[in-house]
Every structure is written in C-alpha cells, then in structure tokens.
Amino acid sequence: MVQTPNKQLTHLKNIPNGYPVVGEHIDVKESTIDLEAPLEEGAILLKIHIISADPFMRSPMKGNDSGSFFPPYLIGQPVYGVTVSSVVKSNNAKFNKDDLVVGITNIEEYTVIGPSNPFFNWLEIRNETKTSGLPLSYAVSVLGMPGQTAYHGLLQVGKPKEGETLYVSAASGAVGQLVGQIGKQRGLKVVGSAGSDEKVAYLKEIGFDEAFNYKKTSSITNTLKELCPNGIDIYFDNVGGEHLEAAIENANRFARFPLCGMVSTYNTKEAVGIRNLMSLMPKHITLEGFGVSDYFQFNDQFTEEVTGWLKEGKIQYRETIAGSIDEAAQAVVDIFHGKNFGKQSIYVSDPSF
C-alpha cells in the first residue's frame, strides 16, 4: 500500500463568529491517499487541477444553519467546494479516465467521490474545455456557476429593456464584472461600484459607463443620484446593506432587484437592517432572491452566447489565481475581505492530457 501525499483544505475546530481566520477556522493540512486502493461501486478518483474560492463557502462554516442549502463543514474534515479535476480511475460507466469534471468535491489534491455523496449527481463532464482554447479556470468562473448567476440573474430576473439603467455592486467580482458587460451587450446604461481605485479603473476599461469606489464616497445614495440621473431600473445586488438601501432610494417605479449575494452580511453576527423597505410599495419594486439552479434550462443559451463573446473579444474576464494548494486557505478567507481582484481561484495541478 503506497501512500501519496495529499494536502487537504480543512475546517478546524472553531466555528467562526465573524470573519474566518487561517489557522483557527480553516487551514491546509498534510494527509495521504492510497491511489491504488480499490474504488467502491460507482465511485471515481479525481485529480484536482483548479479550486474555486466562492462566497457561498461562508455558509457551511456556520455549523447547523437551517436557512442554508449547504450541509455544514465538519470539524477536522476536508471542506468541499467547486473544483475542476480529471478522472484518474473510474468504477462508474459514466466516467472515463481523463474526463474533465466540474462540480462540488472535497478540496484536496486527489479525491474519491461516489454516489453516496450528495453532490455526486451534480458533477458535469466538460471535455469541450480541453479544446476550447480558453483557460481551464473559466470552467468555474465566467463559463461556470458565477457566469450562469450573472447571465440568468440579469436576463431572467432583471428583465432588462434597452436604455434602462443597471447598477451592480461588487462589480469587479466573479459575478459583477460579467453582469455589467452583459448589460452593455443588451444596451443598458451600466453603473458599478467596487472597493479600490484599481478595480474602478478596470470597470471603466471593460465598458462600464460609470464606476465608483464605495470606500471613498460619504454617501452611496448621493453618488448613485449623481451617476444615475434617470434613476435605477435594475439593481443586481451582490452586497446587501448600505448598497441595497441606496439602490432602493434611487430606484424607479417597477424596478427589479435580482438578489444574488449579501457579502456585507456574511461575516457579521448582528446584521444591519434595511430600513427603507416601505419604499418598495409606492415604487412597486420587486426584490427576488434567486439561485442559478432556478434557470438551468437556459444554460445552453448561456454557454453559447458567453463563449462567443469571449472568443470574439467582446467581453473580458479578470481572475486572480493563487499558485498552489498551500495558498487555498488564505485565498478563501481573502474573498470575504474583498482582497481578490476578479474571480478568485487556486491552481493545484496541470491535467495530464
């Protein structure tokens, strides 16, 4: 029995109350795996190439959270997340050696997953990625769930009409940068906010009509009033809190607010309340919490249209990719502080094909 080193991103002994801390709540631990061990019926052995660092990972860190869709991370066990991997060995007719696989797995260098895992049926074989000429990491970013979230949220929930005004918060992030660029493709006026001047410059570079650094404005409400003189028709909310209040203040009648994330509230024990919901009535505003899975029937349209835009250079996509699994814990923690620029992923290994 030969043991191969197998580093794992692990949930440590404490459940974080506020921001998670590397070494206290999450860390990379040494482990080993026997790559020759027989696989149980239906299981596959995967070699992981890319790990996606996603805001949803804060949710299973909460222990039992009845509001959440995601089962809690278990103390001392590897955490799960979205990965790009390839099949090393298969005991399942659906998967062949070297298939490129995208889905939710344990985060480690090698991982075994089988039908008893609740996420097993979500695994997708994405072999077209091998020959698309686009980076492998796009499978978990612009052409993965963040991309689908942007596309379905803006088009299906936001229901944009040409000439309307769209505001996006966390606009340089994994989802936001695509929301804004899809908005431009659909003929909207697009306004975005981000947390640094560098990010704001990037937003202008990729075609946002207006962009501002929310950390440098004393009132998001007043800034939006200036930048959106015709009011806001769609607010794509990645942040919640003050941005949501300010967007309600500046919303037009019949505005649509796709709610995608409220990263401002994920790490705070006492959530800040939204105080102006009474304006939803006279303005007839709709707030709609959604998830990509509500609109999977539009995935083929999404893949075709966004792949086309990328290949034609009509849209750009910014990623930050950490260089090894050793940096995975820090990379995950950093996204809650907005330290990443664009989509944050972690490189683990190259595929063998």
Determine how β-strand 32-33 pairs with β-strand 4-5: antiparallel
Q: If binding is defined by CB under 8 A, does position 290 make contact with a second copy?
A: yes
Q: Which of residues 222-241 bind a second copy (CB under 8 A)?
A: 240
Q: If binding is defined by CB under 8 A, does position 281 make contact with a second copy?
A: yes
Among 213, 259, 307, 320, binds a second copy (CB under 8 A): 259
Q: If binding is defined by CB under 8 A, does position 296 make contact with a second copy?
A: no
DSSP state of 241: H
Question: Least distance in Å: CB of 19 to a second copy?
Answer: 16
Question: Least distance in Å: CB of 349 to a second copy?
Answer: 32
Instruction: Print the binding letters for residues 60-79 with a second copy: x by CB under 8 A, - otherwise.
Output: -------xxx----------
In angstroms, the CA 100 to CA 60 distance is: 26
**C-alpha dist (Å) from residue 130 to 84, 135, 254:** 11, 9, 44
Place of tokens 């509001």: 67
Q: If binding is defined by CB under 8 A, does position 288 make contact with a second copy?
A: yes
Tell me whether residue 162 or residue 270 sits nearer to a second copy (CB atom).
270
Q: If binding is defined by CB under 8 A, does position 270 make contact with a second copy?
A: yes
In angstroms, the CA 160 to CA 154 distance is: 7
Longest Cα–Cα distance in the chain = 70
Tell me whether residue 56 or residue 120 sits nearer to a second copy (CB atom).
56
Tell me whether residue 107 or residue 239 sits nearer to a second copy (CB atom).
239
At position 100, the amino acid (one-letter code) is L
Q: Which of residues 22-61 bind a second copy (CB under 8 A)?
A: 59
Q: If binding is defined by CB under 8 A, does position 278 make contact with a second copy?
A: yes
**C-alpha dist (Å) from residue 193 to 65, 218, 255:** 30, 14, 19
CB 283 within 8 A of CB 309: no
Residues near 38 by beta carbon (within 8 Å), at least 6 away in sequence: 91
Q: If binding is defined by CB under 8 A, does position 266 make contact with a second copy?
A: yes
At position 353, the amino acid (one-letter code) is F
Among 114, 207, 231, 291, binds a second copy (CB under 8 A): 291
Q: If binding is defined by CB under 8 A, does position 242 make contact with a second copy?
A: no
Place of tokens 């967007």: 247
Tell me whether residue 6 or residue 264 sits nearer to a second copy (CB atom).
264
Question: Least distance in Å: CB of 87 to a second copy?
Answer: 31
Among 38, 133, 229, 273, binds a second copy (CB under 8 A): 273
Q: If binding is defined by CB under 8 A, does position 283 make contact with a second copy?
A: yes
Tell me whether residue 5 or residue 289 sits nearer to a second copy (CB atom).
289
311-336 CB burial, b ≥16 within 10 A, e <16: eeeebbbbbbbbeebebbbbbbbbbb
What's the half-sphere exposure (Cβ side, CA atoms, 13 Å) at 47? 17
Q: If binding is defined by CB under 8 A, does position 112 make contact with a second copy?
A: no
In angstroms, the CA 296 to CA 20 distance is: 32
Which residues sit at the interface with a second copy, rule CB under 8 A? 59, 67-69, 240, 244, 259-262, 265-266, 270-291, 294
